[in-house]
Structure 1
């Protein structure tokens, strides 16, 4: 029974952190969407490059809302031992996990297709424009940078997926051990 109470406590703590992150993302997203210019004043001379962050406000609101709901369901379900909340928590995580796996598969499948089209279009365009003067292309460096970042993004996504699987397992453990 001590294992159950430890897992329940950890579920409450981690989901409370997720809940707080959701609140923070919602707050920043609303701030950026409603009052972008004051948000940009913080950056001062960097405001031209920071302008792209203003366009991310709605994404932050959506991500914050999902984290807010997910954190609330996990925390509430574990604290009150509510089977419905734990099951909702599990299903929301499952949907997010399936969407992430689908996105990863699409990215892997279309990476070679995108590389092929870039080779056909970009290299041919550079060659046509370079008929007066020789141009040193950067296509190989671009592909190298994309591959390097893809490995990092893939590693982070795999880590997040592992955490999501662990959270789903814990929620099902709590669900199954409730009376």
Structure 2
């Protein structure tokens, strides 16, 4: 097997794994959103399962988006290598390049333009707070997404418990705050209890997420560099095949 054949096999194998992973993730996402009743039935059969496990239904859209992207990338990589299609290989290269550029741009904004990043996060925080006050307790998807986030990170709101003040949930529960904002997360609590909890262990989700990133910065950087290296290798292999196919046909 020559160099060209080896690159084709590696391209096919690597993207075949990506394609299968994407198909699996996409299938799970569609199943979660379309057949939510069956999913809940399966979850309820799990012995001693936490109640918040049912909130997994709200990650269906994310699974569908991630699965679709992986499916497209894997398909283009596999078919481009097997069929020796320069068009598919070029499209594969472009998609991976766009993802790579977006990752680099995000890193540059965070590391170099920190004031700009803080401004963007501030705007995001305002939108998140507005989202809570407008829809939490009224929109099941928004409520479920925030419940899942708060249960996972053990936090309350975007900045803190005050984000829920004036929300549909707050008004319908006689000015009470979600259980996640309380020290004993079993039932809603008053503003005084939520304030006590925020002074001890339960902070906003953004401060908690920021601390989580700072505590695991080395691991995150290593994973990011590994993903970037794989993307660069994929682009190099795809362009090598692209050029070799062109020279062979020429």
* Matched ranges for 1:33-112 at <5 A: 33-43=33-43, 44=46, 45-46=48-49, 48-108=51-111, 109=114
The alignment partner of 2:49 has SS state of: helix
- Structure-2 separation of matches of 1:25 and 1:68: 9
* 1:168 match: 235
- Structure-2 separation of matches of 1:31 and 1:138: 34
* Matched ranges for 1:111-126 at <5 A: 113=118
After TM superposition, the score normalised by the length of structure 2 is 0.57
Residue 110 of structure 1 and its aligned partner are, at CA, apart by: 6.2
Structure 1 window deviating more from structure 2 (149-158 vs 14-23): it is 149-158
- Structure-2 separation of matches of 1:162 and 1:27: 28
Check whether the contact 2:8–2:81 (CA below 8 A) recurs between aligned residues. Answer: yes
Check whether the contact 1:70–1:92 (CA below 8 A) recurs between aligned residues. Answer: yes
Q: Structure 2 unaligned runs (5+)?
A: 123-158, 161-191
Check whether the contact 2:76–2:92 (CA below 8 A) recurs between aligned residues. Answer: yes
Distance 1:50 1:152, change over 3 A: farther
Distance 1:4 1:27, change over 3 A: same
* 2:12 match: 12
- Structure-2 separation of matches of 1:38 and 1:106: 43
Q: Structure 1 unaligned runs (5+)?
A: 123-128
Check whether the contact 2:100–2:231 (CA below 8 A) recurs between aligned residues. Answer: yes
Q: CA RMSD in A?
A: 3.2
The alignment partner of 1:42 has SS state of: helix
Residue 89 of structure 1 and its aligned partner are, at CA, apart by: 0.4
- Structure-2 separation of matches of 1:103 and 1:37: 38
- Structure-1 separation of matches of 2:24 and 2:201: 43
Distance 1:145 1:61, change over 3 A: closer
- Matched length: 166
Bigger helix share:
1
Structure 1 window deviating more from structure 2 (36-45 vs 162-171): it is 36-45
After TM superposition, the score normalised by the length of structure 1 is 0.77
Residue 136 of structure 1 and its aligned partner are, at CA, apart by: 5.4
